[in-house]
């Protein structure tokens, strides 16, 4: 599988507001699927499970079974990879351009 395919899955997963909210809910601690479902009373359990599967497919969520419970953990490494590939270079370039603009405008 190419890294472009992986990036596409990550961007697709991050492109949905509910999936981003699920990741936000996992930022501080892992949660059971039931706990995640309870956080989103406006959508049904099956829809939350669908979002979880998309996040798993993108590698953004890792699920572990403990007895009857399924614990969902945030995996931030794919987000870090996206940041390094896309955001880091563009941010450095933008800061450089701002620095040049500031020097050009200085009295």
Q: Compute the distance between CA of residue 21 and CA of residue 13 in angstroms, rounded to an integer.
A: 11
Local confidence band at 13 (pLDDT 50, 70, 90 cut-offs)? very high
pLDDT of residue 51: 98
Q: What kind and span of H or E run contains 70? A: strand 69-74
In a domain, 93, yes or no: no
* pLDDT above 80 for 1: no
Give helix then strand counts, H and E, for the chain: 6, 3
Q: What six digits make up the tokens of 25?
A: 């809910």
Count of domains for the chain:
1
In a domain, 18, yes or no: yes
Asked whether 61 and 55 are in contact (CB, 8 A), the reply is yes
Q: What six digits make up the tokens of 34?
A: 């039931």
**Average pLDDT over the chain, rounded to an integer:** 90
In a domain, 16, yes or no: yes
CATH number at residue 21: 1.10.10.10
In a domain, 107, yes or no: no
In a domain, 105, yes or no: no
In a domain, 35, yes or no: yes
Q: What kind and span of H or E run contains 67? A: none
In a domain, 82, yes or no: no
Question: Whole-prediction pTM value?
Answer: 0.79
In a domain, 98, yes or no: no
Host domain of residue 52: 3-75
């Amino acid at each position: 599988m190419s890294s472009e395919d992986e990036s596409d899955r990550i961007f697709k997963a991050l492109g949905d507001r509910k999936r981003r909210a699920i990741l936000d809910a996992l930022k501080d601690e892992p949660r059971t699927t039931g706990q995640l479902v309870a956080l989103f009373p406006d959508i049904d359990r099956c829809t939350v499970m669908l979002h979880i599967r998309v996040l798993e497919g993108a590698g953004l969520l890792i699920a572990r079974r403990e007895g009857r419970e399924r614990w969902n953990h945030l995996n931030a490494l794919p987000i870090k990879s996206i940041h390094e590939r896309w955001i880091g270079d563009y941010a450095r370039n933008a800061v450089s351009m701002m620095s040049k603009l500031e020097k050009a405008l200085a009295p």
